[in-house]
Amino acid sequence: MKKKKLTLGDLIGLAVVFCVFVIPFLFMFVNSLKERREANLLRITWPDNIRMDNYVEVLKTSNGIVLTAFKNSVILTFFSVVLLVILCSMAGYVLQRRKDRAVGVINVLIMTGLMVPPAIMPTIWVLQGLHIYKTLLGMILVETALLTPFTITLYRSYMSAIPKELEEVGYIDGCNRIQMFFRIIFPLLKPVNATVIILNAVSVFNDFTNPLYFLPGNANATIQLTLYNFMGKYSSSYNLLFADVIIITIPMVILFIIFNRQIVDGMVAGAIKG
């Protein structure tokens, strides 16, 4: 009887996944292969004439803005994730090991950062004051700041299982704090590092709202903002829009499929060890 319930639950789960993820992706894919009039009907039917040249047209639109945007998104994602891994792993380690009043205050600030949304105008004012508004550097710092509370929480939870005796051995061997962290502690963070890298990479790469506010302009376009090229006030090219969405989606889908196990292992390990 229990086996039948488990099988039924599995079937229900697969059906939900199919409806939520597979059908929308199939809908976008088949419409990306249609002509404009046929795609604008928004039907999930196989096209009469397959138009693979829709993808070529997307890549050529506005002097190859999709390729420029893809390059900007890759740069933004790479440096944001590098900063998050280095800074948040060190912060998580310190917050886990120290037990004083200052740590309690910092923990409150981190929880506040998880709950309170970013303020757009004050952030733009700060970026303008630093002369990094509308630059990739400014956008990298914004993405890093927004994802820091979540990332520190992951690292801090995982750090609790690392024995303090390892640090004592490092100090006996003559390591200072920085050497001890990067030579002894950081190599032990591989599971949570994989989780942090993948989740944050997907979050930054797929971010639409923040680049819209903090990185305006065609020269600074990120891959998500290229969707505007195919949506207009009076007309829209849904075949090109869906082709662009497929181009945007495929890299992150491949990344998620390849590292799916690492994501789950890192999250579970952090939860158990916390």
144-181 pLDDT, tens digit per residue, is: 999 999 999 989 888 888 888 887 787 887 778 888 88
Residue 125: half-sphere exposure toward Cβ, Cα within 13 Å: 5
Residue (of 69, 251, 245, 273) closest to 188 by Cα position:
273
Instruction: Give the domain range for residue 66.
Output: 52-273
Domain count, the chain: 1
User: Measured between alpha carbons, how far is 145 from 214 in angstroms, rounded to an integer?
Assistant: 13
Residue 118 is given by DSSP the state P
Q: What is the pLDDT of residue 100?
A: 81
Pick the residue with more confidence: 102 or 146?
146
* Residue 180 one-letter amino acid: M
Q: What is the CATH number of the domain that holds 105?
A: 1.10.3720.10
Check if the beta carbon of residue 230 is closer than 8 Å to that of residue 244.
yes
Query: Domain for residue 39, yes or no?
Result: no
Q: What is the pLDDT of residue 233?
A: 57
pLDDT tens readout for residues 108-152:
888 888 888 888 899 999 999 999 999 999 999 999 999 999 999
Query: Domain for residue 248, yes or no?
Result: yes
DSSP symbols for the chain? -HHHHHHHHHHHHHHHHIIIIIHHHHHHHHHHTS-HHHHTT---S--SS--THHHHHHHHHHHHHHHHHHHHHHHHHHHHHHHHHHHHHHHHHHHHH--SHHHHHHHHHHHHHHHSPPPHHHHHHHHHHTT-TTSHHHHHHHHHHHHHHHHHHHHHHHHTTS-HHHHHHHHHTT--HHHHIIIIIGGGGHHHHHHHHHHHHHHHHT--HHHHHHS-SGGG--GGGGGGGGB-SS-B-HHHHHHHHHHHHHHHHHHHHHTHHHHHHHHHHHHHH-
Residue with tokens 């599971």: 191
Mean per-residue pLDDT for 246-270?
72
Mean pLDDT, the chain, rounded, equals: 84
The yes-or-no verdict on residue 269 having pLDDT over 60 is no
Residue 118: what are its φ and ψ, rounded to 5°?
A: -70, 150
Query: Domain for residue 31, yes or no?
Result: no
Query: Domain for residue 68, yes or no?
Result: yes
Q: How confident is the model at residue 266 (pLDDT cuts 50, 70, 90)?
A: low
Check if the beta carbon of residue 194 is closer than 8 Å to that of residue 70.
no
The yes-or-no verdict on residue 231 having pLDDT over 90 is no
Q: How confident is the model at residue 267 (pLDDT cuts 50, 70, 90)?
A: low
Query: Domain for residue 34, yes or no?
Result: no
Query: Domain for residue 145, yes or no?
Result: yes
Query: Domain for residue 27, yes or no?
Result: no
Share of the chain above pLDDT 70, in %: 91
Q: What is the pLDDT of residue 148?
A: 94
The yes-or-no verdict on residue 274 having pLDDT over 50 is no
User: Measured between alpha carbons, how far is 167 from 182 in angstroms, rounded to an integer?
Assistant: 11
Check if the beta carbon of residue 96 is closer than 8 Å to that of residue 156.
yes
DSSP symbols for 207-246? --HHHHHHS-SGGG--GGGGGGGGB-SS-B-HHHHHHHHH
Q: What is the pLDDT of residue 235?
A: 66
